[in-house]
Structure 1
Amino acid sequence: MKEGFLSLIKAGYLLLVQAKAKGSRTTHNKIIYLLSFPSTSEPVLEELSTHFGSRLVICYTNNCLKEAQKFQNKGIEIYSIDHLTDLLLHVVPLVKGAKTVLCDNYFAFLGAIDFPKTSEVIQLWHANGAIKKFGIEANYAKNRSASDKKRYKQVYKKYTHYAVGSDKMGAIFQESYLAKPEQILTVGYPASDKLMSSGWRARQEARFSERFSEIGKKRILLYTPTYRETDSENPLDFDRLAKELGDEWLIFAKAHPHDNKLQEKLRTSKSVTSDLRGFSLQEFLPFVDCLITDYSSVPFEYTLVKKNGKVLFFCYDMEEYQKEVGIQEDFESWVPSKITKTQEQLTTEITNQKPQEIASFNSLWNQYNDGQATQRLIQRIEERT
């Protein structure tokens, strides 16, 4: 009954969007950015706002209010996607009337907009690569109702292009979002540009030297697990890990904001810290000697900034995660290290002195990422306006 009620609400919401879109016929020269992932979109928005100025309009989800307000203070128009009045009065007409719409995620309301043939809706996505399945390929999507699947596909049809950093990611969009080969833009992954900037790196190194001056020659281990919808317990024993690794290592961990169990575990452990002292995850990556994750997209960025680093995959619930979400079929064939499922295996891999083969991993996933992706995107937009 609950699912049926939610389906009715979604259908009503989309009917309102559809009606407003059909009545909107005014075109304009604004560049519309649909924002839901501030950490990956911020560097792209900085470049876009510098180049296009007040032509840029940001339409944001509630979790991005602070980020949107930063750009509002620079003279950029902003509107809330989650506020129904803003959505219908401003967002829908702006999106429908634009020649170029940029998205960092799946936005359900796009499925109800009748775009003119001259519109380009470019999916920038919020990850450079993919280990877990998403879109129509995810197991949770396969188990949804026929009406839900129909809504998903209606949204997928609205994207005209996908900006990717590799042919590999392009192929995944063809499977997950039903994209066609001609829709794949091999311009590079825009959010990766700053990771390859020598100026950006120098600024982070200066900040790190100031804020972590006491570290000295100690090595840094960072654990960044994927968020899980299930209420499962993370089995990693940080105190034991610290004891096994010794004083040579400092252990950091970054839990998802909604992962209350892991956050509590980090608070009570004296052997690990989650305080990055004002650094974002991206900003901290250049100083990480060993990255431990599981199904997140962090490794694809890490190997860009740390070509001599080590990345390990602690997949203690791999079979369960495969059933609930889904993992890319060839995952085990291209990871640059053994997949570990127990703490004993993980400790062995951390202490293994054998260098990892990062180059082949990078060539597969960072094929077109040379630091100029945003500029190529801007050039494409300019050529159409």
Structure 2
Amino acid sequence: MSNPFVLASKEFYLMLVQLASKRTRKKNDKIIFLLSFPETSKITIQLLYEHFPDKLVICYAKNTKELAEFYESKGCPIYCIDSFSVLIKDIVPMVSGSKLVFCDNYFAFLARTTLVPDANVVQLWHANGAIKLFGLEAKYTKNVTKKDRDRYMEVYHKFTHYVVSSRKMANVFAKNYQQTINKLPFGYLPTDLFFDQKWLRNVREQFKINFPTGKKIALYVPTYREHQSEVPLDFSSLQSQLSNEWVFMVKPHPHDQELYQKVQNIDGVISDFRGMGLAQILPSVDCLITDYSSIPFEYSLANPSGKMIFFCYDYEEYKNEVGIEEGFQHWAPGKIVKNQIELISAIQTPSEENFETFNQMWNEYAQGNACEQLLKWVENVYDN
């Protein structure tokens, strides 16, 4: 159960948000972008800046300061959400009067922010699909207080639209947020890159320049675990057993400094990608190794001839603590393994899987024109 002091603090915070919202509500023509995931949101922000430079306002979490300041240098107004005074004085009044708000995550202050009647609040989300549960379906939310659950619902009810890549993901939102979903079936915007043949050629060439190995590439990308336990892999022995055919790469979650420290000094294991982002790496990866991350939903488009392995060493524990989407073991487009011996065998064994059924389920709307469709939708919002 939540600490009474914490509960009282949350209520006081939202009371001040509510007062600021009601007192200063003035309609404006701004496009507000609530930013907390720079890697997945930068393509949308670039699109909005290019076409609506006078309307875009970025309200950013402190971990996204670098991206926000890049657009500030171009003349875009930016405001830090994590500064309470800025939130109350500047952000809440702007959001309250805006006709269009984009979110890439859950933002608590929306719970008590009063919006104009024709406001559009678009949830872009920071993932293309879901293996782990979130929202009200996540196991860790089952023990929160009724007040906490009510606050969650207040935020969820503020979202008017969801950009999705599939009916499957729309249903996931409907279940996890316990509401009817008004979907924008455009596809996940960052996946537009994987349909751009010129971009694909360029990033593959850059990858070969950075890593001229001539070997197959195995990339390990684990999800972030709130209660991080040590990954049960001996990376030195793993690399030595695979080194004749494979190069082993590890992309730790930005918050997982322990794994990053563990792998950065191991001979033959690559964790420095020389300025290349994950999306730029995926087209060159022969074997993606992950667990409950959303990366498979992008990799299946980035490299349709590749293969996936799901290294779920803590499957039962994770299922009980966080939760896993129903049917994962049936629709996962790759082998699920639980220890290092099984993992090495799966890497070395040619895969008979393909991603066609998986993409029909999770990427049915992805055609490479998600940005174009979103742009037309935004223009229509302002024309009406």
- Matched residue, 2:290: 293
Structure 2 counterpart of 1:135, which letter?
A: G
8 Å CA contact 1:241, 1:347 repeated in 2: yes
TM-score (norm 2): 0.96
Match of 2:355 among 340, 355, 358: 358
Match of 1:330 in 2: 327
- Alpha-carbon shift at residue 78 of structure 1 (Å): 0.8
Q: CA deviation at 1:145?
A: 1.4
Is residue 163 of structure 2 the alignment partner of residue 163 of structure 1?
A: yes
SS at match of 1:53: coil
Give how far 1:244 is off: 2.2
1:226 maps onto 2:223 in alignment: yes
CA offset digits 1:132-160 (Å, max 9, x no partner) = 00000001111111111111011001001
TM-aligned CA deviation for residue 10 of structure 1: 1.3
Within the candidate set 249, 255, 263, 1:252 is matched to 249
Counterpart of 1:3? 3
For 2:299, give the aligned amino acid.
Y
1:261 aligns with 2:258: yes
Contact 2:2 2:144 in 1 (8 A): no
Q: Which moved more, 1:143-152 or 1:289-298?
A: 143-152
| Whole-Å separation in 2 of the counterparts to 1:209 and 1:262 | 25
User: What is aligned with 1:192?
Assistant: 191
1:337-382, CA deviations, whole angstroms, 9 ceiling, x for partnerless residues? 2211111111111111133221111111111111111221121111
Q: Secondary structure at the match of 1:338?
A: strand
CA contact (8 A) 2:98 2:115 kept: no
Report the TM-score when normalising by structure 1: 0.96
The amino acid across from 2:380 in the alignment is: E
CA 1:259–1:25: 2 relative to 1, 3 Å:
closer
2:314 counterpart of 1:317: yes
Deviations 1:293-317 (A, max 9, x none): 0000001111111000011100000
| C-alpha deviation, 1:56, in angstroms | 0.8
Partner Cα distance (2:227, 2:25) in 1 = 45
TM superposition outliers: structure 1 runs of 4+ over 4 Å: none
AA at the equivalent of 1:146? K
1: CA distance, partners of 2:101 / 2:43: 17
One-letter identity of the residue aligned with 2:22: K
CA contact (8 A) 2:304 2:354 kept: no
Q: Which residue of 1 aligns with 2:339?
A: 342
In the alignment, residue 199 of structure 1 is paired with which amino acid?
K
Aligned mates of 1:146, 1:208 — CA distance in 2: 50
Compared CA separation, residues 255 and 354, structure 1 to 2 (3 A): closer
1:210 maps to amino acid: I
Gaps of 5+ in 2: none
**Structure 2 CA distance for aligned equivalents of residues 32 and 203 of structure 1:** 33
Structure 1 range deviating more: 97-106 or 71-80: 71-80
Q: Deviations over 1:107-129 (max 9, x none)?
A: 00000112122001010000000
Query: Residues 43 and 194 of structure 1 are in contact (CA less than 8 Å); yes or no, is this contact kept in structure 2?
Result: no
Q: Once structures 1 and 2 are overlaid, which stretch shifts more, 148-157 or 195-204? A: 195-204
Instruction: Find the counterpart in structure 1 of residue 55 from structure 2.
Output: 55
Aligned to 1:44: 44
SS at 1:243's partner residue? Answer: helix
Does 1:308 pair with 2:302? no
Inter-partner Cα distance in structure 2 for 1:164 and 1:157: 17
Output the amino acid matched with 1:312: I
More displaced stretch, 78-87 vs 31-40? 78-87
Q: What CA distance in whole angstroms lies between the structure 1 residues aligned with 2:204 and 2:270?
A: 20
Q: What SS does the aligned partner of 1:191 have? A: helix
Any idea what SS the aligned residue of 1:54 has? coil
Q: How many residues align?
A: 382
CA distance in 2, matches of 1:269, 1:381: 48
* 1:94 positional shift: 1.1
Q: Give the Cα–Cα distance (whole angstroms) in 1 for the partners of residues 334 and 207 of structure 2.
A: 28
Is this contact kept in 2: 1:21–1:93, CA < 8 A? yes
- For the residues of structure 1 that align with 2:45 and 2:346, how far apart are their CA atoms? 38
In the alignment, what sits opposite 2:121? 121
Any conservation in 1 of the 2:218–2:286 contact (CA below 8 Å)? yes
Would the aligned equivalents of 1:292 and 1:314 in 2 still touch at CA under 8 Å?
A: yes
The equivalent position to 1:372 in structure 2, one of 369, 372, 381, is: 369
- Aligned residue for 2:217, secondary structure, equals strand
In structure 1, runs of 5+ residues without a counterpart are none
Deviations 1:62-111, CA, capped at 9 Å, x for gaps: 00000001111122111111111211121111111111111000000000
**1:209 alignment partner AA:** K
How much does 1:268 deviate?
A: 4.3
How far apart, CA to CA, are the structure 2 residues paired with 1:116 and 1:145? 30
Identity %: 45
Deviation at 1:2, TM superposition (A): 7.4
- Matches of 1:246 and 1:39, distance apart in 2: 31
CA contact (8 A) 1:54 1:77 kept: no
Query: Is 1:76–2:73 an aligned residue pair?
Result: no
Letter in 1 for 2:147: S
How far did residue 179 of structure 1 move?
2.9
For 1:73 and 1:5, the matched residues in 2 are separated by 41
- The one-letter amino acid of 1:188's match is G
Q: What is the one-letter code of the residue matched to 2:244?
A: D
Q: Deviations over 1:188-219 (max 9, x none)?
A: 1122222322232233134223322x31x211
